[in-house]
Amino acid sequence: MNIVPNNQTVEKCLKQRPYYIDFYQREYVWNKETVTVLLDDIFYSFDLAYQEHKGKDITADVIAKYNWYYLNIYITNTIKGKEYVVDGQQRLTTLCLIATRLYHFANEDEEYFENVIDTLKDCIFGKDKYKGNIFWIDNEKRGKVMEHLLDNSKKDYSDTFEYTTEENILNRYKDIDKYLEDKKFATDKDKLKAFILYFLERLVLVELKIEKDDTPMVFEVINDRGVALKPFEILKGKLIGALDKDDTEKYSELWEKSLNKLRGIEDSFFIDYLKGKFIHKRNADIEKAINNEYHRYIFSDNEIANNLGFRKKDESQTKNIKLFIEKNLVYYSELYSKIKKNEYLFLNYNNAINELSGQYQNIIAACEINDLQEQSKVETISKEIDRFYILLQLNGVYDSNDFAELQYNLNQQLPNKTPESYRNVFDSLLKSSIQEVRNISDISSLLEYDKFLLRDYTNMKTRLLRYFFARVEKYICENMGVEMANNVYEISTRTGHKTGYHIEHIFSRNEENKSHFETEEEFETKRNKLGGLLLLYNRDNISSGNEEYKDKLKTYNNGLVWGKTLVDTFYHYTNKKLEDFNLQFKEKTKNEFKPIETFNKEALEYRSTLLYNIVKEIWEID
């Protein structure tokens, strides 16, 4: 490999030099802060020199005495007569935008700035007798937005953005425009002219020309060891860099179209894809490698790398890469973009409320490329994960580490099965988990009543309790034809004193309630049972305080429906759907909804049994 360094002024760097942005390079992403820091540094150096030579004629000799300012390196690679930017397009783009604003300044007084106008123009664009203006940096993608900045920079851009680069170019140009306007150049043309010449002649970059096509290695050394690019961007360079140059445009386009659907979650996609397709058992070292540096791990010596076949030593390396991009990346990026929107009910519950992010890898594992049962699989898996999670919790056998292990197990069990068979897969894992934790050989039910009774306020987290009772509320309202006060997400996640939901103990700590029990210890144990709890909105549970039960009923009557079912007036309204549902529920479970005048041990047992049967209906327990 031969690398040739070459010092360049901004003028030599930009003037009449068409640059193509290689597939390694990400979009133009510099933010306002980064551009401002660059301008601050440039003007700090310029202002010192200008003050030293202020009042002198602006000649080549004088400008040559200004201190030069180093702008870092950029790397190019010439292939088939085209000059590609391997590294440094963020800085080059920003310099071009500064030149564009200076060009507009100069055109405001063409006579005074006649000697620099053409030079500035030549740093931005040239003319083609057939195509018109040709902008020197990545004209194909940036031509429209640069044409707008050239002709209508003060007007809003009306076209639809095709690339992130276009939007960022417009926004950074506005930042540059304001920054330079604040320098009051309009009232000091001499200073403006001096700055233009300083910008063109005293800002220095070092260009490294790579003579051979070793850009993948150079790119990785520059970016992978620093903070310039994210893992998915490095991965793109490694994969497409292994292809023939004639194939890079096609596969770069497929890559960009796929990942444009995943803005902001690109690395999450590759992590979930690799876990879903290749990890079937928990391994802390592999998890860490995938989470932190998957773009390296899949090129090292391991089973996942062997399966992918992306390394130089792998047989059919380029074929494997092409197939991955054409088939796997195209399909699974589209799938991932859909499921990460969490628009389906249980996807949202799992993600936004219970933070069960493993569902995404399970769905990827289950779906084949162009899967005709995709929607059914998405809906079924997310629903089964919700059920699986809740029943583990209600059985008292949930452990976060064990749950991660179970989800890896699902990555192996779900492929090549139909959605109709998923219930058996999940139930088998649930049953095995219960048996293992309890050290028993068999269970009679996936949730036995005596085990349900052991779950209470003391051993279930508050957010889980809110979700649990939100689902109970949804079930009751839907079947009774009553509108929910808030949806499941709001009930589960709102916590503020004024707008949140809080756990209410029906048994307050007062002498009347304690009189129903033999001992203080029994009272404390029983009051925490799920059947003795409900949710109250804002400060209602605080205001009800230690009131006697008969006084609490007034508060419950204005709250959620699960609380209202304690109150006799709830049943006074004519509601045929409520009556029909209560009758059907009683026929099926031997329980019915009814008001409770006195809340004692017998009432608690009734509500616990009622709640248990509601749970069996919601989470479909035979």
What domain range is 166 assigned to? 3-213
Asked if residue 484 has pLDDT above 70, the reply is yes
* Three-class DSSP category at 205: strand
CB 172 within 8 A of CB 98: no
Please identify which residue in the block is written with the tokens 């404390």.
Answer: 524
**In the structure, what pLDDT confidence band is assigned to residue 226 with cuts at 50, 70 and 90?**
very low
Query: Cα dist. 410→304, 401, 427, 474 in Å?
Result: 18, 14, 12, 29
| Tens digits of residue pLDDT in 396-409 | 999 999 999 999 99
Q: Would strands 20-21 and 501-505 be described as parallel, antiparallel, or unpaired?
A: unpaired
| Tens digits of residue pLDDT in 239-250 | 998 998 789 889
Domain assignment present for 176: yes
pLDDT of residue 227: 41
Token pair listed for 423? 């219930």
Q: Strand locations in 171-273, DSSP E?
A: 203-210
Final residue before a domain boundary, out of 418, 451, 484:
451
CB 206 within 8 A of CB 73: yes
pLDDT of residue 80: 81
Kindly tell me the burial class for residue 261, based on how many C-beta atoms sit within 10 Å of its own C-beta (0-12, 13-18, 19 or more): middle
CB 500 within 8 A of CB 540: no
pLDDT of residue 520: 94
pLDDT of residue 6: 66
Domain assignment present for 436: yes
Would you put residue 374 in left (φ > 0), alpha (ψ -120 to 50) or beta?
alpha
Q: Are residues 328 and 387 in the same domain?
A: yes
**In the structure, what pLDDT confidence band is assigned to residue 141 with cuts at 50, 70 and 90?**
confident
Domain assignment present for 304: yes
**In the structure, what pLDDT confidence band is assigned to residue 213 with cuts at 50, 70 and 90?**
low
Q: C-alpha angle with apex 242: 81 to 141, nearest 5 degrees?
A: 50
Domain assignment present for 223: no
**What would the mean pLDDT of 564-584 be, rounded to a whole number?**
89
Asked if residue 221 has pLDDT above 80, the reply is no
pLDDT of residue 357: 95
**In the structure, what pLDDT confidence band is assigned to residue 225 with cuts at 50, 70 and 90?**
very low
Q: Are residues 199 and 310 in the same domain?
A: no
**What would the mean pLDDT of 338-355 be, rounded to a whole number?**
95
| Tens digits of residue pLDDT in 415-470 | 999 999 999 999 999 999 999 999 999 999 999 999 999 999 999 999 999 999 99
The closest alpha carbon to 484, from 562, 555, 542, 556, belongs to 562
The closest alpha carbon to 88, from 24, 37, 45, 33, belongs to 24
Q: How many CB atoms lie within 10 A of CB 588?
A: 11
Eight-class DSSP state of 106? H
Domain assignment present for 257: yes
Q: Are residues 393 and 520 in the same domain?
A: no
How much of the chain exceeds pLDDT 70, in percent? 94
Q: Are residues 155 and 289 in the same domain?
A: no
DSSP labels, 290-357: HHHHHHHHTTSSSHHHHHH--STTSTTHHHHHHHIIIIIIHHHHHHHHHHTTT-SHHHHIIIIIT--T
Amino acid identity, residue 296? R
Q: Are residues 442 and 460 in the same domain?
A: no
Amino acid identity, residue 297? Y
CB 65 within 8 A of CB 53: yes
Domain assignment present for 364: yes
Q: Are residues 187 and 279 in the same domain?
A: no
pLDDT of residue 541: 53
Q: Are residues 366 and 302 in the same domain?
A: yes
Q: Are residues 184 and 236 in the same domain?
A: no
Q: Are residues 426 and 481 in the same domain?
A: no
Count structural domains, the chain.
3
Domain assignment present for 204: yes
How much of the chain exceeds pLDDT 90, in percent? 76
Asked if residue 215 has pLDDT above 60, the reply is no
Asked if residue 331 has pLDDT above 90, the reply is yes
Average pLDDT, the chain: 91
Q: Are residues 426 and 286 in the same domain?
A: yes
Query: Cα dist. 583→479, 575, 589, 596 in Å?
Result: 12, 13, 10, 18
Final residue before a domain boundary, out of 451, 476, 511:
451
| Tens digits of residue pLDDT in 19-52 | 988 776 778 999 999 999 999 999 999 999 999 9
Token pair listed for 494? 């709102």
**In the structure, what pLDDT confidence band is assigned to residue 572 with cuts at 50, 70 and 90?**
confident
pLDDT of residue 155: 85
Q: Are residues 200 and 241 in the same domain?
A: no
Asked if residue 543 has pLDDT above 60, the reply is no
pLDDT of residue 214: 58
Domain assignment present for 219: no
Token pair listed for 67? 């201190």
The closest alpha carbon to 472, from 611, 577, 622, belongs to 611
Cα Rg of the chain (Å, integer) = 34
Q: Are residues 134 and 186 in the same domain?
A: yes
The closest alpha carbon to 229, from 34, 26, 45, 49, belongs to 26
**What would the mean pLDDT of 67-88 be, rounded to a whole number?**
87
Final residue before a domain boundary, out of 406, 424, 451:
451
Token pair listed for 519? 């001992």
